[in-house]
Amino acid sequence: MSTKTKSAFVCNECGADYKKWQGQCTECGVWNSLSEVRLGPTPSNRTAKFEGYAGGATGNKIQTLAEISLNDVPRFTSGAGEFDRVLGGGFVPGSVVLIGGNPGAGKSTLLLQTLCNLARSMPALYITGEESLQQVAMRAQRLGLPTDQLQMLSETSVESICTTAQKVAPKVMVIDSIQVMHMEDISSAPGSVSQVRESAAYLTRFAKQTGTVLILVGHVTKDGSLAGPKVLEHMIDCSILLEGDNDSRFRTLRGHKNRFGAVNELGVFAMTEQGMREVNNPSAIFLQRAEDASSGSVVMVMWEGTRPLLIEIQALVDDSHLGNPRRVAVGMDQNRLAMLLAVLHRHGGIMVGDQDVFVNVVGGVKVMETSADLALLLAVVSSFRDRVLPQDLIVFGEVGLSGEIRPVPSGHERLREAAKHGFKRAIVPFANAPREKNLGIEVVAVKNLQEALNAL
């Protein structure tokens, strides 16, 4: 009996597939991005290929929610507290973790350290497709890692990897990287949308069925997003991005998706000659301020995942020599900066429309929440008036379009963190004013922007 070979046309930009070729992808609008993908022969029992994808062994039996066991899946630590924090408490057997980052950020270094430590207590397999085994061994020797237990494999064929892993039965397996993996049935080149999607699906199915912790290393594009189709992030359980500038030795590990823990959790590492070292108190690192106080600088408390983090916001307001004054924000949303400057003019009475405004978040941290609004405006006013703010002042709060100061989540915990680091005064929203008086910090609660400016 002959088998029928099917083919499809897949967009290399967004991963959309079509039955026939067309000049433009209707999903993303890119021209000439469709390429033919041969799906291989289709057997009659094709459903067996996808059986047990989620790792369940129920035998297609329907169960009610009350019949499902609620026993916690046992986690095990990665050996680094900051890594465990981002993961939600450690690795979950059968989970798939995708970690991305810019070239040189330290992805391979962090994973090599983690697996060398885990290999002393459980079977671990590190699969490299971009480097030779000698290169990995040289890095491990340079970092002073234990190398007598970790099992290594240099392979790019997904079928061969799963066959070998079936014999070795590792508890943790690293694929470095998913962009160089390929499957024999897919005719497109490694790194294409179809290869990345099918390879990740095959490896994910293997991890779910065997209970193996699978860690996939992914490349990023020039805008910082993970390369490959968006469906790759839907298949995995945890998506992590390792960020850091080349001129800074600090790296931030941020969670973007986590089925087993909090989202937007942040872990901080320092790149040293001995590899990645975790930073247990990141607030102390980001608060290394200059000895001589200057205008345009204020400290705020942002909330990252499950903990507060103190960072410094700097602003510089200068006369503009251009017809269109510049608005530059590093580490913050530039559109929100323009909006807040309009609120400052309308409800604060301070006009900076003819001034260049530059805002920077010290330490390379990206502020994703609105609690930095009030601190940003006070830093702008401090620079505009050339007035130095107190070094022991802490500020947080969201600013509305009508000039009101809105409360932010976890305000009490933010004040406790500020008091722990020696801050004596705080300007916060009125709704975040603490009821207890023994926090060790003077709290000035404000309802609108004008009251906050008068409190300076």
**CA–CA distance, 165 with 210 (Å, rounded to integer):** 10
Report pLDDT digits (tens) over 46-87.
444 445 555 555 456 788 988 877 676 789 999 999 999 999
User: 40 falls in which pLDDT band (50, 70, 90)?
Assistant: low
What average pLDDT does the segment 20-44 reach?
75
What percent of the chain has pLDDT above 70? 89
Q: How many CB atoms lie within 10 A of CB 304?
A: 23
Percent of the chain beyond pLDDT 90? 52
Can you give the pTM of this predicted structure? 0.75
Q: Give the pLDDT score at 143.
A: 92
pLDDT digits 0-9 by tens, 316-358: 999 998 889 999 999 999 999 999 999 999 999 999 989 999 9
Instruction: Tell me the DSSP string of 283-305.
Output: HHHHT---SS--SSEEEEEEEET
Q: Average pLDDT in the 176-187 region?
A: 88
C-alpha–C-alpha distance, residues 437 and 161, integer Å: 61
Q: What is the chain's mean pLDDT, rounded?
A: 86
Integer Cα distance of 51 and 60 in angstroms: 9
Token pair belonging to 268? 């901080």
145/283: higher pLDDT = 145
Q: Tell me the per-residue pLDDT of 233-249, one tens digit each, with 9 for 90 and over.
A: 888 999 998 987 766 78
Residue range 190-206: mean pLDDT, rounded: 88
Q: Which residues contact 177 (CB under 8 A, 6 or more apart)?
A: 129, 130, 216, 217, 218, 219
Taking the C-alpha atoms of residue 43 and residue 62, their distance in angstroms, rounded to an integer, is 27
| pLDDT band, residue 368 (cuts 50/70/90) | confident
Q: Could you report the per-residue pLDDT of 369-417, keeping only the tens digit for each?
A: 899 999 999 999 999 999 999 999 999 999 999 999 999 998 999 999 8
Q: Which pLDDT score is estimated for 97? A: 95
